Amino acid sequence: MSILITGIGELTTNDDELGELAEAAVVLDGERVAWVGAATAAPDADERVDVGGRAVLPGWVDSHTHLLFAGDRTAEFSARMAGKPYQAGGIAVTVEATRAADDDVLLKNLLLHVAEARRQGTTTIETKTGYGLTVADEVRAARIAASVADEVTFLGAHLVPAGSDAESYVDLVCGEMLAEVAPFVRWADVFCETGAFDEQQSRKVLKAAQAAGLGLRVHGNQLGPGPGVRLAVELGAASVDHCTHLTRSDVDSLAGSETVATLLPACDLSTRQPLPDARALIDAGATVALASNCNPGSSYTSSMAFCVATAVLQMRMSVAEAVRAATWGGARALRRESGDGAVGVIRVGARADLHVLDAPSTTHLAYRPGVPLTHSVYRKGTRLA
């Protein structure tokens, strides 16, 4: 069934030819966008929806989350707010709870968080394993995540589990664990950070994943300067995520590469880290994405609108830059921004994902921070909210 969405006051397409349109309309036909243009020239469709001058943009593309978990880390958060520094080792608390939970609990939690995100306009979600850290638990996480999420990433190299030797664990990740998880995932990731995995260990994990045919992602440069960005660019990773502490060389390296710098501002606020220098990255020509990093320890939010508002108000991004980073940028980080069924963009042939704001322009996302502005959401041509 085709649907004509008309009465669009401002349409953000992220398409280089279409640009931003005023008084626009979009036709959805099944799971694809069938037509985009001026409302006065819109063709007929089976159903007509007038959004009354509201702004429409692509659905948010959240390219970095950790939604497959059990347990609660409010005590850690409270301690951090009282002055205790964030450390990577807090992940172990979630690992213990996740291992103890049965499949039904993990699936229920995942579905609740995905539904929460979709109600706020997120139509494409990546999520990771990484709270199991045994072969059986990582495979279980990947299998459950693959039944719900758009993209799944293997993050066996999230932390060396308690009682394990680092080198032996890396061998496990690169061997049996990778082989068993690979059928359920498209990507592999590594937490290249002090307290997690060093450069040599990270390189070994990434090269093994690459040899297994998986795309690469990297957690890098979160807690301080380090080799994460350099390693990601060297190995052709699709994205390096966090990028909180960058040198000039890191910025230039990203600008000269196809690797997306995925910024996670909600995490930096929650861990009381400095916010990434988005302005330096954009001005240098690097591709930037914004993502929620929704997880129970360091960024327990699924609100991409919050990330956009933070990027504008505190990271010196323009509204247009932040919206593009949270849609097209995330899609680019997942290599889903082009071709049939592309996400993060509104053009003929793209997936029919629309986010209708209860506002006349995307500027209101930062102009009215914290105000729920999602009017309705379409995913694959079906209205969700």
Binding-site residues: 64, 66, 73, 131, 158, 219, 222, 293, 295, 297-298
Contacts for 61 with CB less than 8 Å, ≥ 6 apart: 122, 123, 124, 289, 326, 327, 328, 329, 330, 331, 333, 334, 336, 343, 344
- Residue 130 DSSP code: -
* Cα-based distances in Å from 91 to 164, 297, 308: 15, 7, 26
Q: How does strand 260-263 pair with strand 239-242? A: parallel
Q: Which residues are annotated as a binding site for 4-imidazolone-5-propanoate?
A: 73, 131, 158, 222, 298
3-class secondary structure per residue, 280-339: HHHHHCCCEEECCCCECCCECCCCHHHHHHHHHHHCCCCHHHHHHHHHHHHHHHCCCCCC
Contacts for 29 with CB less than 8 Å, ≥ 6 apart: 1, 2, 3, 45, 352, 381
The count of residues in the chain is: 385
Contacts for 172 with CB less than 8 Å, ≥ 6 apart: 135, 156
Token look-up 């719900």 returns 148
User: CA-CA distance, 170 to 165, in Å (whole number)?
Assistant: 9
CA-based torsion, 90, 207, 244, 266: positive or negative: negative
Residue in 269, 282, 361 with CA at minimum distance from that of residue 310: 269
Q: Which residues are annotated as a binding site for Fe(3+)?
A: 64, 66, 219, 293
User: CA-CA distance, 149 to 67, in Å (whole number)?
Assistant: 9
Q: Where are the beta strands (DSSP E) in the chain?
A: 2-12, 20-29, 32-38, 47-50, 55-58, 60-62, 122-128, 151-157, 187-192, 215-220, 239-242, 260-263, 288-290, 354-357, 374-379, 382-383
Q: Which residues are annotated as a binding site for N-formimidoyl-L-glutamate?
A: 131, 295, 297
Contact 325, 311 (CB under 8 A): yes
Q: Which residues are annotated as a binding site for Zn(2+)?
A: 64, 66, 219, 293
